[in-house]
Amino acid sequence: MVFLQLFWSFLKIGVFTFGGGYAMIALIQSEVTVNHHWLTPQEFTDILAVSQMTPGPVGINTATYTGYTAVLNAGYEPWLAILGALLASAAVILLPVALMLLAVIFLQRTKGNKDIDNIFALLRKVVVGLIAAAALQLLTADSFGQPALSLQFVLSVALFAAVFVLSLRRVSPILLIVASGLVGIIAYSFA
């Protein structure tokens, strides 16, 4: 039952995401491409690109798009896929919103609690590792092309290096995604 599984997966993804959208990528990836095989790694990479290019919170965009595609890939009608999109988006925010409300109500109690501070000091370090794992798992032949030294492989490595450096220098991700896409169109359409 893809709908129940989708709901349960995104419930888990929401409540275990600390540190924003990038940290969420590792969790979504492990649920939808490793545990359930709802999407291929390539489809997932495309969804990430679209989610970063379109308005809205990246976590919501990724959940919506993944929910839609997963239900469609399971062989259901498009209108049921829309239901999947809404379900995944609702599931991903359900528990965090509840926790957030509790936290606002009990704000004074948790403030300055040493245990909470210690937990978050370690969580912040672990989340960096989580993001690195997400990037490493996306380094696939599907995304970079094969065999080695083909046009696509060489160009992909060059684009990866360029975007990596420019992103560290805080060039806008949207600009980088659109520019890489245009390089792709020019290189692969005329090669």
Enumerate residues 75-94 that contact other proteins by CB under 8 A. 78, 81-82, 85-86, 89, 92-93
For 85, other C-beta atoms within 10 Å of its C-beta total 21
| Residue 8 sits in the site that holds other proteins (CB under 8 A) | no
| Residue 24 sits in the site that holds other proteins (CB under 8 A) | yes
Enumerate residues 126-155 that contact other proteins by CB under 8 A. 126-139, 142-145, 152, 155
| Sole binder of other proteins in the list 11, 40, 74, 173 (CB under 8 A) | 173
For 108, the token pair is: 């004074």
What's the CA gap between 24 and 14, in Å, rounded?
A: 8
Enumerate residues 33-62 that contact other proteins by CB under 8 A. 34-35, 42, 45-46, 48-61
Least distance in Å: CB of 35 to other proteins? Answer: 8
Closer CB to other proteins, 74 or 183, in the complex = 183
Closer CB to other proteins, 1 or 91, in the complex = 91
Contact 39, 113 (CB under 8 A): no
- Spell out the residues 6+ positions from residue 63 whose beta carbon is closer than 8 angstroms to its own: 10, 13, 28, 88, 89, 91, 92
| Sole binder of other proteins in the list 8, 77, 103, 141 (CB under 8 A) | 103
| Sole binder of other proteins in the list 37, 77, 146, 172 (CB under 8 A) | 172
Which region, left, alpha or beta, applies to residue 56 given φ > 0 means left and ψ of -120 to 50 means alpha? Answer: left
What's the CA gap between 33 and 40, in Å, rounded?
A: 6
| Residue 109 sits in the site that holds other proteins (CB under 8 A) | no
Contact 40, 60 (CB under 8 A): no
